Amino acid sequence: MKKITIPIGPQHPALKEPISLRMTIEGEVIKDADVRLGYNHRGIEKLAESKTYIQNIYLMERICGICSHSHTTCYVQAVEALCGLEVPKRGLYIRTLVSELERIHSHLLWLGVAAHEAGFDSLFMYTWRDREVVMDLLEIISGNRVHYAINTIGGVRRDISEQQKEKILEGIEFLRKRTEYYTNLGTTEPTFVARISGVGKLPKEKAIELCAVGPTLRASDVASDIRKDDPYAVYDEIPFDVCTADTCDVLGRVVVRVKELIESYKIVEFVIKNLPAGEIKIKAPRKVPEGETVSRYEAPRGENIHYVKSNGTDKPERLKVRAPTLANYPATIEMLKNGFVADIPLIFAAIDPCICCAERVVELIDVKSGRSDIMTFSEIKRKYFCEKKRETL
C-alpha cells in the first residue's frame, strides 16, 4: 500500500495545545512520525533576563498552569542555593505539602483527559468532579485555585492554621476512597482495558536509551524518581515508595499514576501530622552573588531542571528551563511507530504532554522548499513585519 503523510495538528481535537506531528502511514499502521515544535513559544527565558529575581517567581509560575508550583519551587531552590540561604523547616514542610497537593490535582486531571481521549466520558466527568475537592483545598491554603504563588525566595508566604489542617485531612480521606474505586474501575472495565492495554509499548532498554522521564519511565519498570535519587525539600525525612509497573504500555502508565496518587495521600497526611513549629521564611538579599547552579525537581510529569546564572546584580544573566515533556518526545516517536492510527491520541496523551512547558526553541521551516533556516530577529522584522503605530493606554 502507498505511504501517505497526514498531519495531526497543529489544530486537532486530540491535542489541547498546538504541536505538529506528521505521520507517515500505510493503511491504518503508522510507519514514521516527525515532531515540529515552536507553536507555543513565548520568549520566557529572554523575558526573565529583564526582570528581577522576585518578579521572576511569578513569571516562572506562568510557564504552565497545571505544574505551576514545580517551576516556581525549582527556580526558588536554585536562587536559594546561589544566595546560600537555609530555609526554615516549617517553610520546607509547607512547600512539600503544596507540591503533593499539586501532584494529586495533576494526576486526577490526567486520568480524566486519558479517559476522554479513549471515549470514556463518564470517567472524565467523575474524576474532574473529585478534583474540585483538591482545588478548593489549594484555594483555602494559598488564595487561588491555579497559580498558587506560595513560594518566595527564602521560604513560603502563608502559614497553615489548625482549621485548614482538619479540612485537608477530611478532603484526603474522601479522595482516597474515590481513588480506590477508580483503580478498580480502570483495571477491570473491559472496553477501557481493551483500549489501553498493549498500546504504546516502550521496552525498558529503549526507555533508558531515549532518556524518558517521569511516569513514562516508571511504567517501563525503571525505579527512578528525583525525590529518592536526589532529595530536595524534606523528602529525605518522609517515608514513601517509588511506584513502578512492568507492562510498559498505557495501562502501566495509568497504574503508575494511580499508585502515585495513593502515595501522595500518605505523604500529605505525614506532613500534616508532623508539621514543626517555627518561622516560615527568612529574609533574602535583593542582589544575588555571582555563580551558576542547576536545580532538579520531580514534577507530576517527570524531572524538571532549571539552570540559573547570576552576575551579582538583581536580575539573572541566564535562566534555562528543561521541562519534562521535552525529554519525553523522542520516546513518544518510538512508541508511535508500528501503532494504529486509532491509538494516536492515547499514546500522545499517555506521556501527559504539557506542550507549553516544553516550548523553548522555534524551528523556521520554509513551507515550499522544506529547508530550515537560522534568522536574526531584525531580519524577521524587516522581512515579515511592517511598522505600525501603537496607541498607548
Partner 1 sequence: MKLKPAAFIPELLRHIFKKPATVRYPFEKLKVPDDFRGTPVLKPELCIVCRACVRDCPAFAIEITILSEEEKKYKMTIHNDRCIHCAQCVESCPTKALFMDTEFEIATDSRLKLKAEYIYSRQKKTDQKSQQT
Partner 2 sequence: MSILKSLIYLLIYPGLLFLFVYSTFCEWFDRKLYARLQNRVGPAYTGRAGILQPVADFFKLLFKEDIIPERADRVIFSSLPVVGLAIVLTAGLYLPLWNIDVSIPSYNSFQGDIIVVLYLLSLPTLIFFLAGWHSTNFFSTLGGVRVLTMLFGYEVPLFLAILSPAIVADSWRLAEIADFYQKCPFLLLFQLTGFFVAVIALQAKLERTPFDIPHAETEIVGGTFTEYSGKKLAFFRLMTDIEMVVGSGLIATVFMAGFPGNAFVSFVNFIIKTLIVISILSLIRAACSRIRIDQMVNFSWKWLTPLAVMQLFISILVKGVFWRILQ
Interface ranges with partner 1 (CB under 8 A): 51-52, 54-59, 62, 122-123, 129, 132, 139-140, 143-144, 147, 149, 152, 157-158, 181, 184-185, 187-190, 193, 393
User: According to CB under 8 A, which residues from 329 to 348 bind partner 2?
Assistant: 340-345
Distance between alpha carbon 283 and the CA centroid of its chain, in Å?
A: 29
Task: Select 221 or 292, whichever has its Cβ closest to partner 1.
Answer: 221
Query: Which of the ranges 98-106, 117-125, 156-164, 238-246 carries the binding residues for partner 2, by CB under 8 A?
Result: 117-125
Please report whether residue 14 would count as binding partner 2 according to CB under 8 A.
yes
Peptide bond into 276 cis (omega under 30): no
What is the C-alpha separation between 28 and 31, in angstroms, rounded? 10
Containing H/E element for 197?
A: none
Non-local CB neighbours of 13 within 8 Å, separated by 6+ positions: none
**Is residue 320 classed as helix, strand or coil in its secondary structure?**
strand
Please report whether residue 178 would count as binding partner 2 according to CB under 8 A.
no
Q: Which does 59 bind (CB under 5 to 8 A by kind): partner 2, partner 1, none?
A: partner 1
**Is residue 65 classed as helix, strand or coil in its secondary structure?**
coil
Please report whether residue 39 would count as binding partner 2 according to CB under 8 A.
no
Q: Within 10 A of 322 (CB to CB), how many other CB atoms are there?
A: 18
Choice from 60, 63, 78, 123 touching partner 2 (CB under 8 A): 123
Please report whether residue 297 would count as binding partner 2 according to CB under 8 A.
no
Task: At 22, list the grid cell.
Answer: 506528521
Name which of 247, 244, 238 is nearest 259 in CA terms. Answer: 244
Task: Select 33 or 97, whichever has its Cβ closest to partner 1.
Answer: 97
Beta pairing partners, 347: none
Number of residues assigned to the chain: 393
Task: Select 17 or 269, whichever has its Cβ closest to partner 2.
Answer: 17
Please report whether residue 29 would count as binding partner 2 according to CB under 8 A.
no
Residues that bind partner 2 (CB under 8 A): 4, 6, 12-14, 28, 115-123, 125-126, 129, 189, 191-192, 194-195, 340-345
